[in-house]
Structure 1
Amino acid sequence: MRAECRRGSWGSLGRMTTPTSPTAEPVQNLDWSSWKRVLVVVAHPDDPEYGLSAAVHEWTTAGVEVSYLLLTHGEAGIQGRDPAEVGPLRAEEQRRACHCVGVTDLVILDHPDSMLVYTLDLRRDIAREIRRRRPDVVVLTNFDVEAYGGLNQADHRVAGLATIDATRDAANPWAQRELLDEEGLEPWSTSKLLVAGVPNPTHYVGVSHESVEAGVASLCEHDEYLKALPDHPVPHEFIPGMLREGAGLVGDENLECAVTFRVFDV
């Protein structure tokens, strides 16, 4: 079914909200015309697929190289099924989702799902991938305690904080010294951090109908995971609705769908 930029069914699942609250700051068009590489860092398979992946498709279509770094395999995400089975299944679902939006570089680390802990080791693992890929920007998702209509999941909170600090570690030659001394990875400074799914965005990326469709398709690839969530809203209904809500914050009647971010200079 074709995904159109119209208001859709939101359902009751807390993760599915997009910014709808008024913001005191003007939401500006994000200028990404000079970007060559983007790194998206999230905790689990499917985390990029709630609106963000539509922007990813917009970028890859324009020739930007987008990499995904997942900190876990999401092996604890399907109740009643053995994590040893679920981890590879969800990794494969994420690979198919990446294909939908033009992402060819996917790295999944082996940190424990649902038990992600903020450590120097986690920061180092993220900083390593930043130095390897040398992205212009790093993208993460909302890591507030209250997010997505409820209390945010613990792994999301840890992933966000660790990514912020790892971005600084990646730029500092005196931090995580083994990355330089033992692995030969030179420091790398990204220009910006983008946080998706926040209630107080500062910037937006307008997305085409094709990118909306690609974003919907990327979420649909997480088929087994979604089957385990009987109350999950239908992707082709609520994803366009979220992106329409994002465009509504901009105040441009010619803009139909947008992914919103809070942007920080690094």
Structure 2
Amino acid sequence: MTEQLAPMPEDWQRALAVVAHPDDLEYGAAAAIAAWTDAGKEVAYLLATRGEAGIDGISPAEAAPLREREQIASAAVVGVTTVEFLDHRDGVIEYGPALRRDIAAAIRRHRPELVVTLNHRDTFGDTFWNTPDHKAVGRATLDAAADAGNRWIFPELVEQGLQPWDGVRWVAVAASPRPTHAVDATAGYERAVRSLLEHRAYIEGLTDEDPETYARSFLDEMLSANAASFGGRPAVTFEVFPR
């Protein structure tokens, strides 16, 4: 019998989603985010890069503003209107104090109870090797949730008017190979597809398949694969670290 995942906590109002690239949240997590915004919760996005190295046929100088526009449009589909970019270099994000400080600053600005990030572990599903950017940003986000509440770490943030925020109650890691919780993706599915489709230039650079066929096939397969561990319902899974 498949071990069942717990439902995600719902007793929160503000979330901050922190990922490396435009499109990271759209490969599944957006279905959960749509459900959260439907419930009246506030979600903001923080992107470490502008995804400038993500399209082989488009130079970084052209790709960065294009992918920024696609991400803003994509977020709007699932009810997210606040999208910020940190301008770390796509493909070579370095884990370290600078990245932790930038994320901690955003946590202090937005004061979320829930922080969402993407898989920080070495693999997806114990099979596919993860990228350095995902690992760096995921690990830095887990650390920054604590940094944000300590006034003696990055004291320059206080000098900038960003007071400590120790109100993060959970960090939820999407697409982790070690999930503990899930969100029913049924209600948010169509918007998740439309949200991923807003990354049209990225998808067209990735595959010759029709973009909508590609988006539906990917999300159908991923969300349905999680159903066995969530009462037969298509689901977005998270590894949740309580604080």
- Shorter-chain TM-score: what band? over 0.9
Inter-partner Cα distance in structure 2 for 1:75 and 1:123:
21
- Please list, as runs of the form range in 1=range in 2, the aligned pairs for 1:42-53 lying within 5 A after superposition: 42-53=19-30
Measured after TM superposition, the shift of residue 231 of structure 1 is: 6.3
Query: Which ranges in structure 1 are unaligned for 5 or more consecutive residues?
Result: 1-21
Q: Give the TM-score of the pair, scaled to structure 1.
A: 0.85
Instruction: Say yes or no: does 1:30 pair with 2:8.
Output: yes
Match of 2:185? 207
Aligned residue number for residue 165 of structure 2: 188
1:150 corresponds to 2:128? yes
Q: How does 1:169-184 map to 2 (within 5 A)?
A: 169-180=147-158, 182-184=159-161
**How far apart are the structure 2 equivalents of 1:200 and 1:121?**
28
**TM-score, normalisation: structure 2:** 0.93
| Whole-angstrom distance in 2 between the partners of 1:73 and 1:132 | 20
2:235 is matched with which residue? Answer: 258
Mapped to 2, the partners of 1:95 and 1:192 lie a distance apart of: 25
Percent same amino acid at aligned positions?
46
**Alignment equivalent of 2:228, drawn from 203, 228, 248:** 248
Q: What is the deviation of 1:257?
A: 1.7
Contact 2:123 2:177 in 1 (8 A): no
Counterpart Cα distance in 2 of 1:207 and 1:90: 25
Structure 1 partner of 2:52? 75
Which position in structure 2 is the counterpart of 1:4?
none
Q: Find the counterpart in structure 2 of residue 239 from structure 1.
A: 219
Q: For residue 3 of structure 1, what is the aligned residue in structure 2?
A: none
Inter-partner Cα distance in structure 2 for 1:50 and 1:231:
18
For 2:119 and 2:55, the matched residues in 1 are separated by 22
User: What stretches of structure 2 of length at least 5 have no aligned partner?
Assistant: none
Q: CA RMSD in A?
A: 1.6
- The one of 65, 70, 84 equivalent to 2:61 is 84
**8 A contact 1:247–1:259 mirrored in 2:** no
1:14-29 equivalences in 2 (<5 Å): 26-29=4-7
C-alpha displacement at 1:162, in angstroms?
A: 1.0
Contact 2:57 2:205 in 1 (8 A): no
Match of 2:203 in 1: 226
CA distance in 1, matches of 2:143, 2:43: 21
Alpha-carbon distance in structure 1 between the residues aligned to 2:70 and 2:141: 24
CA distance in structure 2 between the aligned counterparts of 1:80 and 1:220, rounded to whole angstroms: 19
